[in-house]
Structure 1
Amino acid sequence: SIHIGNTDIPFSSQAKNLGVTLSSNLSMEKHVTNVCRSAYVEIRRISNIRHYLTTDATKTLVCAFVLSKLDYCNSLLSSCPNQLLNKLQKVQNSAARLVFKARKQEHIKPLLQKLHWLPVHSRIQYKISTLCYNSFSETYPLYLSELLTVYYPSRQLRSILDTKTFRIPLTKTKTFGERAFSFTGPKQWNSLPYDVRYSPSLLSFKKALKTYLFKSAYE
């Protein structure tokens, strides 16, 4: 505990910062639980008025009140255990079924494809890859750009012409080290095709990135 004046203030096992619940072991389990609980509340609210809404109106409400919760600070969930990401994916699946009034037994993949929604793990990669693309901009925050280092080969190789590749740093721990942005950012960025990484503008990059991730997820 911390002693201030005549009071002992004990440490807490979790704390919330900017809407993100951080636990002492950085498992993100409590945060995912809170996100799922909040998202299901919104799904139930929308379902109560679903019979008054069109499909397009329902989709708009779901994107605004449900998917926005799944996307908020989702880059923190990179390389988290699949069991946590699966909980978020179930939320997205429920939202898709609500839009189409589909039964629980109906296969979810065609519904997600029809909505053109990326699955949860691809949405995380989309966010991180976009952050990496922005790092080549002069307006990029210094506290993030310092975590990324452009890779320059020591020998004259064909890859020397590729100036948009990041060096992947070594990590001491797999559980936490490989979840850091300094590691997972370069790893995911380098895995993107050359033509996606070299998109001339942010808008064209996002379009090419979503197309690539969509094909990877559903084809």
Structure 2
Amino acid sequence: MTDHHLKLNLGKTELLFLPGKDCPFHDLAITVDNSIVSSSQSAKNLGVILDNTLSFSTNIKAVARSCRFMLYNIRRVRPCLTQEAAQVLIQALVISRLDYCNSLLAGLPACAIKPLQLIQNAAARLMFNLPKFSHVTPLLRSLHWLPVEARIRYKTMVVAYGAVRGTAPQYLQALIRPYTQTRALRSSTSGLLASLPLRKYSSRAAQSKLFAALAPQWWNKLPHDSGVNHHLPETPETPPLSGIPRIG
């Protein structure tokens, strides 16, 4: 940083240490300019809170807490709003927060992302002014909202689509390989992706959270056109890469 004429603010410097499975120690500290920077349990990067176990539990709690605060404020003014105005507010202030960097949550169990699904359910009920325990599935269908788990999978497939088409960054393209066979088969022209070999990693649980493992697995389950190329499934709502869904 000195070579590039930059100054390091040690008061705002965070150190996040991610220990491996067989790591002999679980703590780390470095000395910078006679100041000791100790490792913390979590650190924020681009609005996402990363924890030292990469479970994203801290980030999910923060997102749920922020969304509950937004829903509380919208609920106070909901009697003065039309349904269209309420939809604009909820999608801009709540749903966009659920969608931000949600592809990082791919591979997590349903119990981990359940708090986010409860937020989406509460947002749908608030938009229609319904009681707390109203059935939410018809509401999500009428709003063309994908459930949280499906939104995570959709965003992952959007990133995979960019990697297949060559529009994603190189480090993502390197994780995706087309499925090839030594001899001509129908599957050779179906646009499938090669699965990640399990032997490269210590366990199936570690592999299940990797983009290189999830993307081919989910991609190969997509419907294809005439058995040639895979396409993303058409959905009523097509959120862009920024994570903010269309309003309409």
More helix by share: 1
1:77 is matched with which residue: 66, 80, 105? 105
TM-score by length of 2: 0.78
Tell me how far 1:17 sits from its aligned partner: 0.6
How is 1:195-210 mapped onto 2 (pairs within 5 angstroms)? 195=225, 198=229, 208-210=233-235
Structure 1 portions without partners, runs of 5+: 200-204, 212-219
The alignment's C-alpha RMSD in Å is 2.1
What are the Cα deviations for residues 112-167 of structure 1, in whole angstroms up to 9, with x where unaligned?
A: 111111000000111011111122334321111111111112222111221x2111
1:13-56 CA-to-partner distances (Å, cap 9, x unmatched) read 11111111100011110010001011111111111110111111
Q: Alignment length, in residue pairs?
A: 206
The answer on whether the counterparts of 2:164 and 2:176 sit within 8 Å (CA) in structure 1 is no
Match of 1:16 in 2: 44
Contact 1:62–1:95 (CA under 8 A) maintained in structure 2 = yes
Gaps of 5+ in 2: 1-28, 237-248
* Higher Rg: 2
Following the alignment from structure 2 to structure 1, what is the Cα–Cα distance between the partners of residues 38 and 141? 49
Residue identity (%): 37
1:168 Cα deviation (Å)? Answer: 1.1
Please, which of 166, 170, 183 is the counterpart of residue 197 of structure 2?
170
Kept in 2, the 8 Å contact 1:126–1:209? The answer is: no
Find runs of 4+ consecutive structure 1 residues off by over 6 angstroms. none
Q: Which amino acid aligns with 2:170?
A: L
1:90 aligned to which of 115, 118, 122: 118
Secondary structure of the residue that 2:44 maps to in structure 1?
A: strand
Distance 1:174 1:35 in 2: 28
Q: Match for 1:179: what amino acid?
A: K
In 2, Cα distance between the equivalents of 1:132 and 1:138? Answer: 10
- CA–CA distance in 1 between the matches of 2:95 and 2:216? 26
For residue 194 of structure 1, report the CA deviation from its aligned partner: 1.1
Name the aligned partner's letter for residue 4 of structure 1.
V
Match of 1:215 in 2: none
1:202 corresponding residue in structure 2: none
Amino acid at match of 1:168: S
Alignment correspondent of 1:135: 163
Q: Is the 8 A contact 2:166 2:173 kept in 1?
A: no
Return the alpha-carbon distance in structure 2 between the equivalents of residues 91 and 32 of structure 1: 11
User: What secondary structure, in the 3-state scheme, does the structure 1 residue paired with 2:134 have?
Assistant: coil
Aligned residue identity for 1:192: L
TM-score normalised to structure 1 length: 0.87
